[in-house]
Amino acid sequence: MWSVLWAAVRSKAPYVTFPVAFVVGLVGYHLEWFLRGEPSPTAEEEKSISEQREERKLQEIAGKDLTKVVSLKDKLEFAPRAVLNRNRPEKS
């Protein structure tokens, strides 16, 4: 008799588990919403990460003169010394 009962419980478990889990999730969601209340979105929260990054870059370059750059002819090294001269001794 026990084997028949366990076989029936095992075969009907998804039909019982899903509604129970659904009700628990629904109650938990609404309870959390009730306890926290409605969040008031600020201007910073509404902006995406890429928009915040773009604004920060614009603020950084706002006071700089972008027409004055170092010529490539004036630069002695095109790559950082740590990359190309890592294992070479220093020239004197």
Region 17-35: what's the mean pLDDT? 92
Whether the predicted pLDDT of 24 surpasses 90: yes
Task: Report if pTM > 0.85.
Answer: no
Can you tell me the distance from the alpha carbon of 37 to that of 63, in angstroms, rounded to the nearest whole number? 42
Can you tell me the distance from the alpha carbon of 92 to that of 79, in angstroms, rounded to the nearest whole number? 20
Can you tell me the distance from the alpha carbon of 63 to that of 66, in angstroms, rounded to the nearest whole number? 9
What confidence tens digit (pLDDT) does each residue in 28-86 have?
A: 999 998 898 876 666 556 788 898 899 999 998 888 888 888 777 776 666 666 666 66
